[in-house]
Amino acid sequence: MTPSGNGYDIYDLYDLGEFDQKGSRSTKWGSKAELQSLASSARNLGIGIYWDAVLNHKAGADYTERFPAVKVDPKDRSVEISAVKEIEGWVGFSFPGRDSLHSPMKYSWHHFSGVDWDEARKKNAIYKVASKRWSDDVAHEKGNYDYLMFADLDYSNLEVQKDVLRWGEWIGSQLPLRGMRLDASKHYSADFQKKFVNHVRATVGPQLSFVAEYWSGDVRVLTHYLQNMDHQLSLFDAPLVGRFSRFSRTGGADLRKIFNDTLVENKPAHAITLVMNHDTQPGQSLEAPIASFFTPLAYALILLRDKGQPCIFYGDLYGIRRGVKNPMTPSCGRKLPVLARARKLYAYGEQCDYFDQANCIGFVRYGNLHHPSGLACIMSNAGASQKRMYVGRSHAKEQWTDILGWHPRTVIIDKKGYGIFPVYEMQVSVWVNSAAEGRESLRESFEEGIYED
């Protein structure tokens, strides 16, 4: 909505930095032409672009309207706590800068189910439009978690559905998208989300991927949502993020149980694994602090294993220095780029787990025909340790070293295909044949100086 906004205060879905609206033509990130140029360059480099679709609400209305509403209990939105009264809400969207280009739709109070501000009384509360019901197919937190913020879109309204479905088709014609992230998916109709996903795939392309940001620490809630969505998308593994945070701050936590009750354990084909994101970083609403020693262990667990689709946090890779109260430096002792490259080079083939000690676990990837090197990973959240692990007879007599450079030993693979792999206390080591293809690329410097003028 505002030139400095990050996009979650969404005003006009159809304005990508093209129209003079709300005090600016460009968004915080630039103009539509610059966005299209960026997307084209990314495609030429083989980088896929995902659109962060904010479809739950609208903000920055052009004018107010009066309509009947009731207050609801903020702790249980299913409970009305006032009589019906007329309020004045910011719900009129005419998009004067765009007029009817791209879409003729104008929004009024009929298209929303609730707001959080009565302009007439200058009062903040959660107001439900009196003639409306909250969506049933949303999260059950706070009684009913349909309402999140701003003017809440009513997806039982067919005009709203039609306009947002039109937008999904339109955005796919404007940018070469690889997929979409559905923001705040637990706050609006899952039935509509399913319709939206199917429509966009039918009109833009069946290859589009979708990931929903349904933040819940209860894996049962996530699997239920996936069932409602006919398993047509993936989800961020919020339970895994919570376990990483708790395990990192619990002395002697049993690493053998690190994946218990996570999405990657229950629905691996639909799990986006992660360690941290913009909502869980320090100072944010869903802050999930993780001890610094544990961050490389966590990244090894999502990047090098055979289940889940890993997502690296920008702040862990580059650090975050500007415009934040809690600056971050690149995590993992600046070894995260090495772990990411190791995934591309060596994390292939069958996997064998050595989850046989509470505070020291390991696993082996055996490689495949086109990537035969394989790897052995060992980690400890307590004292120094070692494990005898089988990497394959084909590797006999090879010399394996830690690609992270954190352990100086050289491991000689014996004639039976076993090696004894060590790890220092509260560390992770990733062992690969010192002569493996691509080892030299792991020593290349990573350009992280993006904050330098």
Instruction: Supply the residues annotated as catalytic.
Output: 183, 213
Sequence letter at residue 187: H
Q: Quick one: residue 397, left, alpha or beta (phi over 0 = left, psi -120 to 50 = alpha)?
A: left
Query: Helix, strand, or coil here: 226?
Result: helix
User: Which helix (H) or strand (E) element contains residue 69?
Assistant: strand 63-73
DSSP H helix total and E strand total for the chain: 9, 21
The CA distance from 57 to 214, in Å, is 16
* CA contacts within 13 A on the Cβ side of 339: 27
Q: Do 354 and 398 touch, CB atoms closer than 8 A?
A: no
**DSSP conformational letter for 3:** T
**DSSP conformational letter for 242:** H
The CA distance from 15 to 98, in Å, is 8
**DSSP conformational letter for 413:** P
Q: What is the DSSP string of 243-284?
A: HHHHHHTSTT--GGGTTTT-HHHH-GGGEEEES--TTTSTTS
Any alpha helices (H) in 175-249, and if so which ranges?
A: 190-203, 219-228, 238-248
Q: Do 240 and 262 touch, CB atoms closer than 8 A?
A: yes
Question: 203 is written with which tokens?
Answer: 């009109």
The CA distance from 388 to 390, in Å, is 7
Burial label for 453, CB within 10 Å (0-12, 13-18, 19+), is exposed
The CA distance from 336 to 112, in Å, is 44
Question: 48 is written with which tokens?
Answer: 């896929």
Please report, for residues 54, 97, 352, 365, the alpha-carbon distance to residue 62 in angstroms, rounded to integers and kept in the order given: 19, 11, 59, 57
